[in-house]
Structure 1
Amino acid sequence: MNTEASVAQDDQATGALAGIRVLELGTLIAGPYCGRLLGDMGADVIKIEAPDRPDPLRDWGQGGQKLFWRVHARNKRCVSLDLRTDAGREILLELARTADIVVESFRPGTLERWGIGYDVLSEINPRLILVRVSGYGQTGPYSARPGYASVAEGISGLRHLNGFPGEAPPRIALSLGDSLGGMFAFQGALAALYARERTGRGQVVDAALSEASLAIQESTVPDYQKAGHVRQASGTRLDRVAPSNIYKSKDGLWVIIAANQDTLWMRLAAAMGRPELGTDPRYADHNARGDRQDELDEMIAEWAGQYTADDLVAILNEHQVVNGPVNTVAEVMVDPQFNARGMFVDHDDPSLRPGDDGYDPEPVTGVGVIPKLSDTAGGVRFGGASRPGTHTDEVLEEVLGYDTETLVRLRDAGTIA
């Protein structure tokens, strides 16, 4: 914690990062997702938006409901501050003196053009950690390019691995590259906090969406470097990892069955009423099953199709075979395991009151906080504020000691909103 000025945002601040102050700059998903993860673990996250250009994520959602923002901006206090003005930059630097981490997701060079690069930030606060999230990183021939998740997934080779052989590589219906970039940025922020305990100094964390998408690709690089093997899309299964696929039940539902270890294969063979297959040399080890992957899939599909999904899952569980349904979000939300673990939590909007436009008495439900810590658990203290600048006065009064006269002057000048 930056002991010079960091304070808990309220008396109920909890979590492993309680007392850590974060300034979040930037918009949309990757950088703000890092900020969300820090806030989930108890950090006081102050999100700074331009008065005339708030985060576009505020308008994202389905059916006219702008709910993407509500769960992505949870645990963040929203401040409207124009960083393109001298006064706005001075306020940011004042806030940076009190902060532990700044998270930014602008195109590389933007902070430097505004005169608030890490050279300036670290001079006023040597303990400050700057987390930079971008498409390609802060250096290299592509660094100045704008970067989105879809392109990061493509250039990293991740998109090539998705879909079915010979077909156009689809994307998952999520901004996966953004989420991966945000998660690696969060990991870097935690590592830098730990290093600061030893060195007493902050540093720059440089997280790229393209590199995050590359980093999760298991052994694809050494497979190519040593064996010349280019992993291809493999549809609903992994090539030569067998049996592990989805199989349709009698009632038309898909069930995942994963028995690609020797012991699991023997259990599945017993569940199918054919225990002799478990020790049959044609299927007894990993390579043998990989050689006969299509044959195994046909065999298991024929067996699975005799049972309803519920009966199939019951048989597999009885024999301790790894299995599970392919759920929609509607099914996920009633799943007893997720509910027993508290994975659905309410997100109240602190900026709206009865009578306000957009007020909804029913709270928004979102996904809970993971991982779960036994002693310093994080949580959702409040959902994202629907109104930009909800906490501007609160933050500037509490953190910087501004009085009403100063706030009025800054608001009249358009520096804050």
Structure 2
Amino acid sequence: MNRWERLEKVPAPVFTPKFGPLSRIRVLLNGTIVAGPFCATMFGDFGAEVIALERPTMPDPYRFQVPQVMGDNGQNISCAWIQNSRNKLDVALETNMKIPESKEIFLSLIKQVDVWIENMVWIEKLGITDEMLWKVNPKLVIAHISGFGRPAFGGIDKEMNRASYDPIGQAESGYSLLQGYPDRAPTYATQYIGDYVVALMAFSGILMALRVVEETGKGQIVEVAQAESMMRIMDDNWTAWANRGFLKQRFGTKIPFFQPGNTWKCKDGKYITIGAYGEIAYNRIMETLGLSLEEFPYRKAALGIEAVNSELGQKLHDRFSEYFVTHTAQEASDLLNSNRIGAAVLKTCEEVYNDLHWQQRNNWVKYTDLTTGKEVEAFGLHPKMSETPGHVWRGAPDLGQDTDVVLNRLLGYSEIEIAAFKEKGVVK
């Protein structure tokens, strides 16, 4: 009998404190660079017991991004790792089913978890199949995160084998071509938005699948493709094309369908974004800025592409510009917001961090990074929950920091057995 067949499942949590709405869930992660790790971090931030697997000789490249925090112990770690790898246990395991010891450890872990998240793409080369995992744990929810999808839900094989990173997913989805200005080359949204969107799609899909497990006792696949995740957040582009043959175009910061909806440069060189959609908001901003509704009727100067692009619409746009160029961004923001008009100054991260409103909402938390040993600060828990809030119980772990304790307490391996695995390079 195989080891995983002899094991009894140990309820979660074993290693993590009890908190949040997900404390009875245990998650196993095989993934690198943003999407997989961030999805797992969302579970960890809200109480799930998360075990991340890294290769002993090839750790997650996420650790080595720049900028980095330098520790007094001579160790450095990336700011990205500090933010998105907290609340996890770290096991360094050579996840290759051709190595008998690796297979035994990996499948024993599968027996003990509720969710397996992967964004490795090449899992078949490692000898891992969904069917293999379900034989070990029929209740397992399997989450596949990829760029272009996997065969179970259709598609063309050669497309599924394409490499994909965040800009690739944005380009393939149609999202990138809509970013930027019409007279310039298209761009893409920075800050890895595609990675974070697909991670959140996976997170929501896994939660739905876990709900089904509660009712049926049967696990299932949750499959999210980065390109499709970006397609899903593209507003009405698909219905506009499929039903009207209408292709939206990139338009920069100036919204073409109404005004004022734009980003303006102000007297102090800072920028402000205004969004006054609808006739009530339009009337309010016109009154606030002392502009004449008689001279600039809403439907003739502000509603619809033709009105915005008309001579009258352009004249109104110039009037708005004249106001902002003679006032600082903060002056304009204070005036507009005091009159219930949507406006915001474009801020740096430093300005957001120092904003009293966001500080008083406790958006930043401090904890000890386990690689450098330093106290670090990062963005905290979101969403906020009144009865079962999230919590940061530990900083991002060092490579293999929890290998021994997980193999011993969860899988029942002795110190001698673990030492033998280390000698063979199976674990670290």
1:282 aligns with 300
User: 2:165 aligned to 120, 143, 148, which one?
Assistant: 148
In 2: Cα distance, 1:262 partner to 1:336 partner? 33
In 1: Cα distance, 2:68 partner to 2:278 partner? 44
Structure 1 residues 167 and 415, CA, compared in 2 at 3 Å: closer, same or farther?
Answer: same
Structure 1 residues 295 and 97, CA, compared in 2 at 3 Å: closer, same or farther?
Answer: farther
SS in 2 for 1:380: coil
Structure 1 residues 6 and 241, CA, compared in 2 at 3 Å: closer, same or farther?
Answer: farther
User: 1:18 aligned to 14, 17, 23, which one?
Assistant: 23
Structure 1 residues 47 and 162, CA, compared in 2 at 3 Å: closer, same or farther?
Answer: same
In 2: Cα distance, 1:398 partner to 1:280 partner? 69
SS in 2 for 1:333: helix
Gaps of 5+ in 1: 353-357
Structure 1 residues 289 and 17, CA, compared in 2 at 3 Å: closer, same or farther?
Answer: farther
In 1: Cα distance, 2:289 partner to 2:307 partner? 16
User: 1:402 aligned to 401, 405, 413, which one?
Assistant: 413
1:48 aligns with 53
Deviation at 1:35, TM superposition (A): 0.8
User: 1:69 aligned to 44, 58, 81, which one?
Assistant: 81
In 2: Cα distance, 1:49 partner to 1:63 partner? 20
> Residue 242 in 1 paired to residue 259 in 2?
yes
Structure 1 residues 268 and 411, CA, compared in 2 at 3 Å: closer, same or farther?
Answer: same
Q: Deviations over 1:42-81 (max 9, x none)?
A: 1111000111111011000226762111111111111000
In 1: Cα distance, 2:291 partner to 2:180 partner? 32
Range that drifts further, 254-263 or 271-280: 271-280
Q: In the alignment, is the contact (CA less than 8 A) between 1:36 and 1:76 conserved in 2?
A: yes
2:13 aligns with 8
In 1: Cα distance, 2:376 partner to 2:131 partner? 41
Q: In the alignment, is the contact (CA less than 8 A) between 1:243 and 1:289 conserved in 2?
A: no
SS in 1 for 2:228: helix
Q: In the alignment, is the contact (CA less than 8 A) between 1:270 and 1:319 conserved in 2?
A: no
Q: In the alignment, is the contact (CA less than 8 A) between 2:256 and 2:305 conserved in 1?
A: no
SS in 2 for 1:276: coil
User: 2:346 aligned to 311, 326, 333, which one?
Assistant: 326
Q: In the alignment, is the contact (CA less than 8 A) between 1:245 and 1:297 conserved in 2?
A: no
Q: In the alignment, is the contact (CA less than 8 A) between 1:281 and 1:288 conserved in 2?
A: no
Q: In the alignment, is the contact (CA less than 8 A) between 2:267 and 2:328 conserved in 1?
A: yes
In 2: Cα distance, 1:11 partner to 1:28 partner? 24
Q: In the alignment, is the contact (CA less than 8 A) between 1:347 and 1:364 conserved in 2?
A: yes
Q: Deviations over 1:112-135 (max 9, x none)?
A: 333331101111111100000001
Deviation at 1:291, TM superposition (A): 4.9
- Scaled by the length of structure 2, what TM-score is found? 0.89
1:339 is aligned with what amino acid? Q
User: 1:28 aligned to 20, 25, 33, which one?
Assistant: 33
Structure 1 residues 58 and 404, CA, compared in 2 at 3 Å: closer, same or farther?
Answer: same
Range that drifts further, 25-34 or 235-244: 235-244
In 2: Cα distance, 1:289 partner to 1:364 partner? 52
- Scaled by the length of structure 1, what TM-score is found? 0.92
2:324 aligns with 304
2:402 aligns with 391
Deviation at 1:341, TM superposition (A): 1.4
1:328 is aligned with what amino acid? T
SS in 1 for 2:365: strand
User: 1:87 aligned to 96, 101, 104, which one?
Assistant: 101
In 2: Cα distance, 1:157 partner to 1:241 partner? 24
| Mapping for residues 12-411 of structure 1, pairs under 5 Å | 12-62=17-67, 66-84=78-96, 85-107=99-121, 110-139=122-151, 140-141=155-156, 142-274=159-291, 276=293, 280-283=298-301, 285=303, 290-292=308-310, 294-350=314-370, 352=371, 358-360=372-374, 363-385=375-397, 387-411=398-422
Gaps of 5+ in 2: 1-7, 71-77
**Aligned pair count?**
404
Deviation at 1:299, TM superposition (A): 1.9
Deviation at 1:348, TM superposition (A): 1.6
Deviation at 1:33, TM superposition (A): 1.3
1:355 aligns with none
SS in 2 for 1:400: coil
Structure 1 residues 120 and 78, CA, compared in 2 at 3 Å: closer, same or farther?
Answer: same
SS in 1 for 2:347: coil
**Alignment RMSD:** 2.0
Range that drifts further, 129-138 or 193-202: 193-202
